[in-house]
Amino acid sequence: MPRFAALVAALALLTLPAAAPAQTTVVRTADPAKRGLKESDFPRTTKVADNVYTYEDFHAGPEKFTTTNMFVIYDDGVLVADGQGTPAATKGLVDAIAKITPKPIKYVVICSDHGDHTGGNKAFPPDVKYVVHPLSKAALDRESERGGAAEGPPARGAAARWRLPIDAELVFARKPLVVRGEDIQVLFLGRAHTGGDLTVYLPRKKILFLSETFLNRVFPAMRSAYPSDWLKALDRAEAMKADLYIPGHGFTESGPVSKEELAAFRKALAAVVAEATRLYKARVPVDEAVKKANWGEYASWTLASSQGPIAVRRVYEELSGALK
């Protein structure tokens, strides 16, 4: 082809509309309706890499957003990171895995011990190996004695009938799981949303499942959080330079968007801590501070109205030294 013709052809290619379906801009929100999704689109399974999937189902409650799990298929089994809040919802996850692979679920990593991620655990096969941080183990043991879960639906009743098996594997800092066909590491990046927060890292694929350490466009929920440690845990997650970060609530994003959203969440958490700190330093009594707090752009994030006051109280506790 003469050079001129080649140039014309190249230019024509440049101006051609994309052959693939037009790329829609993803709305940055945890609200499924604002993303143009319907209730009937859930629960849903999303393939994020070879043998790696996320599963998203709705969190119970007035505001619609998803609770997100990850599962990894290796040579002779499946590892699941977090469950859903009720046995029926977690059975949905188990069934979704069975549609993709006949391999058995062998590991369940409890990344968040809260009821909306553990309340359905009795729907997992009885012989799975649980992996848990000692602080989460203590929280779960306490709760099953009390007959409910610490936070989130449905907890009471459902969790009471499930007890963490005594042979659960404890992860204090870092544990590589020895499985064939995939490198899987369970990491504790520091106390964050629950205190016993675990994450699952796939170093070959550079995928990090952060569970509730990363709430994607959901207001920083602090009922049992460690605000300043949480910020450091997010710094460690960012420093790992993963290609994909998966949240425990909110949507599974593409890799590049997930990095931006992780940074956006860190910024939100820092802003919430800063606003509560400002009120504390101005000696505003906590009951007044919960009404005075100005969340700025974060006031529109999912759960802001219910979680804002809880965050103020938690930051006050930390600043006064009541939170150890």
- Give the DSSP H/E element, type plus range, for residue 20: none
Write out the binding residues for Zn ion, residues 211-250 only, by CB under 5 A: 212
As measured in angstroms, the least distance from the Cβ of 84 to Zn ion is: 13
- Say if residues 93 and 79 touch (Cβ distance below 8 Å): no
CA dist., res. 220 & res. 265, Å (int): 8
Tell me whether residue 51 or residue 67 sits nearer to Zn ion (CB atom): 67
- Say if residues 145 and 135 touch (Cβ distance below 8 Å): no
Is the bond preceding residue 62 a cis peptide, omega within 30 degrees? no
Query: Looking at residue 123, what DSSP letter applies?
Result: G
Tell me whether residue 114 or residue 205 sits nearer to Zn ion (CB atom): 114
As measured in angstroms, the least distance from the Cβ of 194 to Zn ion is: 6
Contact region for Zn ion (CB under 5 A) — 5-13, 35-43, 123-131, 207-215? Answer: 207-215
- Say if residues 238 and 213 touch (Cβ distance below 8 Å): no
Tell me whether residue 113 or residue 253 sits nearer to Zn ion (CB atom): 113
What is the number of residues in the chain?
Answer: 324
Contact region for Zn ion (CB under 5 A) — 24-32, 75-83, 157-165, 210-218? Answer: 210-218
Burial 275-289 (b: 16+ CB within 10 A, else e): bbbebbeeebebeeb
Near Zn ion by CB under 5 A: residue from 59, 114, 137, 191: 114
Site residue total, Zn ion (CB under 5 A): 2
As measured in angstroms, the least distance from the Cβ of 152 to Zn ion is: 6
DSSP line for 186-222: EE---S-SSSS--EEEETTTTEEEEEEEEETTB----
Contact region for Zn ion (CB under 5 A) — 28-36, 112-120, 178-186, 288-296? Answer: 112-120
Type of residue found at 204: R
Contact region for Zn ion (CB under 5 A) — 13-21, 125-133, 209-217, 232-240? Answer: 209-217
Q: Which residue is nearest to Zn ion (CB)?
A: 114
Contact region for Zn ion (CB under 5 A) — 93-101, 163-171, 208-216, 280-288? Answer: 208-216
Contact region for Zn ion (CB under 5 A) — 111-119, 163-171, 195-203, 275-283? Answer: 111-119
Tell me whether residue 31 or residue 113 sits nearer to Zn ion (CB atom): 113
3-class secondary-structure state, position 106 = strand
Tell me whether residue 85 or residue 87 sits nearer to Zn ion (CB atom): 85
Q: What are phi and psi of 288, to 5 degrees?
A: -80, -40
Question: Comparing C-alpha atoms, which of 307, 321, 133, 106 is closest to residue 223?
Answer: 307
- Say if residues 279 and 292 touch (Cβ distance below 8 Å): yes
As measured in angstroms, the least distance from the Cβ of 74 to Zn ion is: 28
As measured in angstroms, the least distance from the Cβ of 131 to Zn ion is: 18
Tell me whether residue 212 or residue 275 sits nearer to Zn ion (CB atom): 212
- Say if residues 17 and 11 touch (Cβ distance below 8 Å): no
Q: Where are the alpha helices (DSSP H) in the chain?
A: 3-15, 87-100, 115-118, 134-146, 227-239, 255-281, 286-292, 304-320
Tell me whether residue 47 or residue 142 sits nearer to Zn ion (CB atom): 142
Q: Residue 314 interacts with Zn ion (CB under 5 A)?
A: no
Rule CB under 5 A: which residues touch Zn ion? 114, 212
